[in-house]
A and B are shown apart, each in its own frame.
Chain A
Amino acid sequence: MRAAVEALRVARRFGRVQALDGVDLTVHEGEFFGLLGPNGAGKTTLISVFAGLVIADSGTARILGHDVLSDYRAARRALGVVPQELVFDPFFTVRETLRIQAGYFGLRKIDAWIDEILAHLDLTGKADANMRSLSGGMKRRVLVGQALVHKPPVIVLDEPTAGVDVELRQSLWAFIRKLNADGHTIILTTHYLEEAEALCGRIAMLKAGRVVALDTKQNLLSRFAGLTARLVVDRIPSGWQARVLRREGPAFFIGLDRHADLEPLLAALRVEGIEIRDLALAETDLEQVFLRIMRGTSGHADSADVDAVRAP
């Protein structure tokens, strides 16, 4: 399998912030790859290095074997990027926007492909509307269209569903899945972990500019196999604070390795006379894995750190 995207010891510092701290990463052709991490972890910087928008201080980045600096023409032709920011050029209509973007890649007379993109993105009726008149969700879809207009084999989507309503998100993912099935390599960053869980085959987690986890989704889930107990109580018994994954109002989420761990927790609650107002158990999902990795597998971070990780 060829490497669609490679990063070798890529580092980049912005002032005092080490945005990327020696990232090694290989995404193979045809993968649906997830790039996860809290804000400021370096996801967008890494994508920008691949796209040639940010120049790394050191290390190498390649798209389908083409160096992003020395062979930038081939690298950029191979890559389609959906940026995170909702940007648009207010001078043009949707169709003009797509035609112009195709033209930048030296492509002319590709209206049939543009019509196909518009249809897939449910924008056919808006083809001649000015970009300014579109809703946020529509602008987002035009950005997806712009990234696809030169038929790049590798497509990077940086938080593509932020601010897109549920129905649209489903149709967008159906389209991206189809592209992946057709052989396009997809690299996705998202805040919606259930999205990554549903779509991605392999996942890398970034924290402070480093890759802290890189594995298939199944391995990540099984590595942290276990349960989460959702408890509505006034307080958590002493000795269990470190197991709190997060808090949501009166509910505490506590990580358990197996069902047998529930008994000592209930015993501790009884001993301290804490009333259980509600209790629910759930299998580990990617969000739990993410939280455990982000606070370090040692599990001694307090819940405030976890909240910081989750903050949008």
Chain B
Amino acid sequence: MNRFVAESRVGAGWPTLLYKELLRFWKVSFQTIAAPVLTSLLYLLIFSHVLESRVSIYGGQVRYTAFLIPGLVMMSMLQNSFANSSSSIIQSKVTGNMIFVLLPPLSPIELFAAYVLGAMARGLVVGLGVFAVTLLFHPDLFAMPHPLWALSFALLGSAILGTLGLIAGIWADKFDQLAAFQNFIIVPLTFLSGVFYSIHSLPEFWQRLSHVNPFFYMIDGFRYGFFGLSDVPPSLSLAIVAMCALALGLIALGVLERGWKLRH
């Protein structure tokens, strides 16, 4: 190489992109971490107040508030993972500073790793925040029977949503397109996944429909880690969620490889 080229190593650039992604949400943590924690807390207060005595879960083995907490933790992780990668990319595209990431020798897999790990980090931080706050209401949830199951679903779920956010951010040309993706796809899938209820309490038709929603398996498997109880076997959920993560990861890598909507 030329004498000017400073010694740079292949594959050494992506940790900086990850660092930038972390710094980006950390600098506005009031909005990116504190706000979603507060929102989840409000859900918990209102829903548990209204439904605590009316809803029976797992044949009465689990109180509704306890049941609700893992759902809220997972929902906040999913939504914030999606929000992180998607908003970072759409902001960079709209303001034009995406060029700073496109000019360096970052490979598709490096871009993928940095954006998705950044998104996962935000999701996990918010999830931990929600969990910490809700423990005040239900300290006994801290004694999880299967913490590794819960962790696996937390990691895979936030990875899936971080990947979806990456794809959506690249796809969207404007903020309102991204908002539509969020409001018409992400939010319905999360709300209809059993965050607020066990799908066994649903009519037959809706139960079947829930079984084609991948978000249902993320939340059901995550909840298994807390109670040792679930609507479907956790190993089945894990297999389905892992397949989803793999498929979306391959799609995202293909998108980055082609430079779709990024390199013209």
The answer, yes or no, to whether B5 is at the interface (CB within 8 Å) is: yes
Residues of A within 8 A of B15 (CB): 103
- Smallest CB–CB gap between A28 and chain B, Å? 14
Within 8 A of A (CB), among B92-123: 92, 95-97, 99-107
What chain A residues lie within 8 Å of B101 (beta carbons)? 104
Which stretch from A86-94, A204-212, A261-269 is at the chain B interface? Answer: A86-94
Judging by beta carbons under 8 Å apart, are B105 and A105 in contact? yes
In the bound complex, what is the Cα–Cα distance between A259 and B24 (angstroms)? Answer: 65
Q: Is B235 an interface residue (CB 8 A)?
A: no
Interface size class of A (residues with CB under 8 A): 35 or more
- For B11, the chain A residues whose CB sits under 8 A away are 106
Instruction: Give chain A nearest CB distance to B25 CB in angstroms.
Output: 9
Q: Mark A290-312, 1 if CB is under 8 A from B, else 0.
A: 00000000000000000000000
Q: Are A53 and B4 in contact (CB under 8 A)?
A: no
Which of these, A89, A113, A152, contacts B100 with CB under 8 Å?
A89
Q: Check B185 for interface membership: any CB of A closer than 8 A.
A: no
Q: Answer yes or no: A151 CB below 8 A from chain B CBs.
A: yes
Contact (A76, B104) CB under 8 Å given A106-B8, A106-B13, A110-B6: yes
- B54 on interface, CB distance cutoff 8 Å: no
Contact of B264 among A55, A90, A113, A151 (CB under 8 A): A55
- Known A104-B17, A105-B13; contact A76-B103, beta-carbon cutoff 8 A: yes
Q: Is A83 in the interface zone, CB < 8 Å from B?
A: yes
B53: A residues at CB distance < 8 A: none
B: residues with CB less than 8 A from A are: 1-13, 15-17, 19-20, 23-24, 27-28, 92, 95-97, 99-107, 259, 263-264
Other A-B contacts than A73-B105, A87-B95, 12 sampled, CB-CB below 8 A, are: A14-B264, A74-B105, A78-B2, A81-B103, A83-B96, A89-B100, A91-B28, A104-B104, A106-B12, A107-B8, A151-B5, A152-B5
